[in-house]
Each structure stands twice: as C-alpha cells, then as structure tokens.
C-alpha cells in the first residue's frame, strides 16, 4: 500500500532505476512529509536494492539526535530553512552507508505559517558522496495532503537530477 498518487509512484520507480544505474543506495531525512517519500519508494517491489534507510525527524530534537543537526543552527534559522535542510541531508549521508541522501523540511499546514515562512514552504537538500549538496526552496499551494505530495515529487526530482550529473 502506498499513499502516493500514480504519477508519484512512477517517479519513485524512475528514481530507483536511476540510482540502480549509478550503483547508489539512497537514504531519506524527512520532517514535514513524515516518511511519505520512503513509503513511496518502498511500496515498489525490489526497492531494497536501492533504499538503505529513512530518518523521520519531525521534532527538532530528532533532527539533532538522529542527524546531528546542531541545535544552534535550528535556533538561528528555524527547522524550516535551507541551512537545516542541508544539515539534515549531510547528516543522513554521514549516518548511513548510502551514497545519496535527500532531506525535506517544511510547513505543510494548515497552521504553523508566518509572513516569513508561509504554509506550503518547503526546503530540500540532496547530498551525494563527493559532490556539493544541492538545495531547493519551494512554496506549494494546496491543502496539507497536496503540499506533502508536491514535496515528495520535488524531492524525487532533486535526487533524479543528482543521478544525471
């Protein structure tokens, strides 16, 4: 069973194939998506040859405990920031034998937004062994479910781009 729409399932399958071709194992570090990206990847039979592990770090303490995100970084920039997304991805990569990690942190709503950080704001980072960490910032429209699904699609796209470079 997967919570992903058919288009995201197809994107997940393409991502798994791209990682296989590179010989990469993949790990995820998720906050606002709460494991939805990992659920989509592992819903596909045979994903175990690519999917290494997933970190669901919804709370700030989990980001620190599991991924090594410095509390001072969260205090300065907030959990929903480019800086924290980068630290999450790099922490996930460092704490697994995977060659690529993707991080997702955002505000899925319906509450929790502000003028500086509106509902729908999501920061992403993709860390791959021996490469600079790629980052992305998006503001998605829609309800909580729609924001989360769009975030998973963007995360998959970010990793797919890394497999092509």
**Taking residues 2-29, what's their average pLDDT?**
91
Counting the structural domains of the chain, the total is 1
- Residue 144 lies inside a defined structural domain of this protein: yes
Residue located via tokens 């907030």: 78
CA gyration radius, the chain: 14
Sheet holding 51-56, edge to edge: 51-56, 26-30, 100-106, 121-128, 134-139
- Residue 157 lies inside a defined structural domain of this protein: yes
- Residue 94 lies inside a defined structural domain of this protein: yes
Encode burial over 136-149: b for 16+ CB neighbours within 10 A, e otherwise: bebebeeeeeebbb
Domain that residue 80 falls in: 6-15+23-163
Could you read off the pLDDT of 60-103 as tens digits, one per residue? 999 999 999 999 999 999 999 999 999 999 999 999 999 999 99
Could you read off the pLDDT of 31-69 as tens digits, one per residue? 999 999 999 999 999 999 999 999 999 999 999 999 999
CATH number at residue 63: 3.90.950.20
State how far the Cα of 151 lies from the Cα of 123, in Å rounded to an integer: 9
- Residue 99 lies inside a defined structural domain of this protein: yes
pTM for the structure as a whole: 0.96
* % of residues, the chain, pLDDT over 70: 98
> Rounded to the nearest 10 degrees, how much is the dihedral formed by the CA atoms of 120, 43, 103, 55?
120
- Residue 1 lies inside a defined structural domain of this protein: no
């Amino acid at each position: 069973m997967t919570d992903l729409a058919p288009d995201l399932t197809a994107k997940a399958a393409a991502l798994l194939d791209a990682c296989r071709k590179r010989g990469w194992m993949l790990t995820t570090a998720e906050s606002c998506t709460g494991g939805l990206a990992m659920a989509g990847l592992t819903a596909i039979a045979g994903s175990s040859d690519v999917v290494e592990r997933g970190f669901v770090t919804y709370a700030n303490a989990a980001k620190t405990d599991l991924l090594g995100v410095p509390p001072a970084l969260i205090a300065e920039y907030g959990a929903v920031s480019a800086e924290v997304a980068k630290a999450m991805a790099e922490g996930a990569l460092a704490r697994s034998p995977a060659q690529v990690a993707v991080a997702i942190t955002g505000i899925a709503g319906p509450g929790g937004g502000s003028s500086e950080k509106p509902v729908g704001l999501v920061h992403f980072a993709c860390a791959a062994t021996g490469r600079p960490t790629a980052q992305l910032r998006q503001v998605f429209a829609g309800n909580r479910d729609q924001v989360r699904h769009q975030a998973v699609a963007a995360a998959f796209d970010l990793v797919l781009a890394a497999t092509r470079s």
